[in-house]
Chain A
Amino acid sequence: MEVKREPVPRRAGAPGLPGADAGLRVQSLNARQLLRGGDLEGANQPAHLEGSELEPELERYVQERILTTTLDDAVAWARSNSFFPLAFGLACCAMEQFHTAGPRMDIARFGFEAFRASPRQADLIILAGRVSIKMAPIIRRLYDQMLEPKWAISMGACCSSMGVFNNYALVPADKFMPIDVHVPGCPPRPEALMHGILKLRKLVQNDPDRGWRERYDAVGTEEAPSGV
């Protein structure tokens, strides 16, 4: 006899994030279970307890006041709204990075106001500037000293692709550490960094922004790789 397997349900909007579904998840409780102290065993209750006159009112009362969610989502929401970036700048991009903390961009709206001086207290490193070969091991050490979970933003052309300094002295950041968001520009305006930070927030909330190919229904229009 052939056993038909159901496809494993997968939450939409979390492609390519390993372990997004693997975390601890609190089962949603209905109002009746909540009133009994969250007893999960009580899902099959004797019939005589149902149909009480008070219960619909109580159920509505509770439903209006209690939000149920998964623990993953709640943790991701909290994390994405309380980034502690490392106070760290490499070159001219750092000037633009400072301005995101200023009153115009006001990074503190998203819980960014505490720039930490120690990597042990930071969970986001913004590589703002060019990375020389001599600086790369130091940055890698800073990144390794940060506690999990941690994220990294590569800001500017030099850090992502060495930009105008494509010579013997520099190395792109992807060569020695994982980067979550690349912000293009030379240097990127504070608005661009804010855009990258908001993208990272969406990423942390397990709801990454779709690329323009999905948004404009243009999948399959990728340029053919040269020489293939």
Chain B
Amino acid sequence: MPDATGLELLAHELGDAAIETVYFRNRATVVVDPAHIRAALQTLRAKGYGFLASVHGVDHYPEEPRLGVVYELLDMSRVDRLTVKLRVPADAPRVESVTGDWPTADHQEREVYDMFGVVFEGHPDLRRILMPEDYEGHPQRRDFPTGGEPVIFTRNETTWLEALE
């Protein structure tokens, strides 16, 4: 991990893109402006954080801006980890894709799009990856209704007699 000072130096490298730095329990996090996420990640990649370990989504409902995307970076020569976060509003969830830099982001961004509805601009093939393609809604959002299909028991099933009426 970069220490707190190293985190500040990294954030200084990012310039205006860095909004906030959080250093909590030896975990270094940079919150980045979503408009500059790709440039910021490219800068960090040039600094040695070459491995994109994970891309995942968060829903901070009811906070605004609501949807978050988290990038976990790893510097494999120094075994140094860095978390990059961004937040976008749910009515305009547009983030630039980093698939061009890290091909591993392809499926992970598709999963974030599938589950949270974050649209990654510039993604080569932004389709649903887990749910059926004709599925409506993004099931991991926190305002998505829990519970699935109502279970049919004998007391609430429609008999053929009732169906005739």
Q: Which residues of A are at the interface with B, using a C-beta cutoff of 8 A?
A: 133-134, 161-162, 166-172, 174-175, 223, 225-226
Contact = CB atoms under 8 A, between A and B. Distances in A.
Interface residues of B, number: 14
A225 to B, nearest CB: 4
B9 interface: no
Given A168-B144, A225-B155, A225-B156, A175 B149 contact: yes
Contacts of A223: 155
A162 B156 contact: no
Nearest to B138: A168
A133 B152 contact: no
Interface of B: 130-132, 135, 139, 144, 146-149, 151-152, 155-156
B147 A167 contact: yes
A162 B155 contact: no
Contacts of A133: 131-132, 135
Contact of B151 (A167, A172, A226): A172
Contacts of B139: 167-169
Given A168-B139, A169-B139, A225-B156, A161 B151 contact: yes
A80 to B, nearest CB: 26
Contacts of B131: 133-134, 168-169
Given A133-B131, A134-B131, A169 B148 contact: yes
A162 to B, nearest CB: 6
Given A166-B147, A169-B148, A172-B152, 18 more contacts: A133-B132, A161-B151, A162-B148, A166-B149, A167-B139, A167-B146, A167-B147, A167-B148, A168-B131, A168-B148, A169-B131, A170-B148, A171-B148, A172-B149, A174-B152, A175-B149, A225-B155, A226-B155
A166 B149 CA distance: 7
24 contacts: A133-B131, A133-B132, A134-B130, A161-B151, A162-B151, A166-B147, A166-B149, A167-B146, A167-B147, A168-B139, A168-B144, A168-B148, A169-B130, A169-B131, A169-B148, A170-B148, A170-B149, A171-B149, A172-B151, A174-B152, A175-B149, A225-B155, A225-B156, A226-B155
A225 B156 CA distance: 8
Nearest to A161: B151
Nearest to A163: B151
Contacts of A175: 149
A162 B152 CA distance: 11
Contacts of B156: 225
A167 B139 CA distance: 9
B132 A134 contact: yes
Contacts of A171: 148-149
